[in-house]
Amino acid sequence: MAETSANIPAFGTLLTAMVTPFTEDGKVDYQQAAELAVKLVDDGCDGLVVTGTTGETSTLTDEENLGMFRAVKEAVGGRAAIIAGTGTNDTAHSVHLSRQAAELGVDGLLIVTPYYNKPSQAGVRAHFETIASSTDMPVMLYDIPGRSSIQIAPDTMIRLAEHPNIVAVKDAKADFAAATRVMAETDLLFYSGDDGLTLQWMALGAVGLVGVTTHVATRRFRELIDAVNANDLGTARKINFELEPVVRATMTRVQGAVAAKQILKWQGILPNSVVRLPLVEPDEAEIATIREDLAEAGLVFS
């Protein structure tokens, strides 16, 4: 995969898995999406994942997915890599959406392990290879057994790395031993898929983060990643400790998209915190807990 400089991969090092903003009546708000993308890039993101899990892709139509790709591309294309979340548990549908995303000029594709179907590892490999072969876009695999119910086994990932379009992995299973083997035997670029493990992942050899908490603490995550890349472990540790309650607030109390939208509303970045069913907004007890976590980090909102 081409690199933009000696140490910065073309996907970037700090990527936010963007929320999809909605209007009060539940329609996709493309203007708010564009404005959010600009803010994220201004604050330090050099890549954006559009309509991944945090973008509520499973409740978006194809037209809405493509509209989000188009809106974000028009807003920040050329300033940050635009990675389109086009993976589903239907290989043919994923191919269709990937081809349409490629026509819009995105910079890459995020393809999640096929969920619910529970295919064999041979099926997992065939799924990814079929999608990766459908365009000339670089592909980031998304390994998240907590949502898909199955992992991408190390042997499967090593074989997938032979495909010229499969270049990166977003790892959300935190199996550091398995990742070490894959890193040692392939050229795949690893990204932390767990916000709170960014420092640990980068110490192992990952190039950066695809995060959710990065919506609300973009600049601090930029500083964390830059500190690691500058071999300033002391600064990186300090920032990591400071970010812990923010990560806790965003990632552990309610679903990530729900929490991120709530906090973005408190920050005045989004006008509302609307999500689509089956997601619901946090209740009073959950809001209180999230506020308590944020207060530990000095973030207090009226």
Q: What angle do CA 80, 172, 75 make, to 5 degrees?
A: 20
Examine the residue annotation and report whether 73 is marked as an active-site residue of this protein.
Answer: no
Q: Any idea which residue has 């005045």 for tokens?
A: 268
- Measured distance CA(99)–CA(82) in Å, rounded: 15
Residue type for position 16: T
Which residue is catalytic, options 30, 73, 170, 261?
170
Dihedral (Cα; 59, 42, 263, 281), 10-degree rounding: -10
Q: Any idea which residue has 């209007």 for tokens?
A: 23
Q: Return phi, psi of residue 8, to 5°.
A: -115, 110
- Measured distance CA(221)–CA(189) in Å, rounded: 19
Quote the strand ranges of 23-179, DSSP E: 47-50, 81-85, 108-112, 139-143, 166-171
Q: Which two tokens stand for residue 106?
A: 């995105």
- Measured distance CA(160)–CA(167) in Å, rounded: 9
- Measured distance CA(145)–CA(221) in Å, rounded: 25
Examine the residue annotation and report whether 142 is marked as an active-site residue of this protein.
Answer: yes
DSSP state of 163: S
With residues binned 3-state (H G I as helix, E B as strand, rest as coil), the percentages for the chain, rounded to 5, are 50, 15, 40
Of 14, 112, 55, nearest to 276 by C-alpha is: 55
Q: Which two tokens stand for residue 145?
A: 């057994």
Residue 50 neighbours by CB under 8 Å, 6+ apart: 18, 68, 69, 72, 82, 83, 84, 85, 106
Which residue is catalytic, options 30, 142, 191, 261?
142
Parallel, antiparallel or unpaired: strands 139-143 and 166-171: parallel
Report, as residue numbers or ranges, the catalytic residues.
Answer: 142, 170
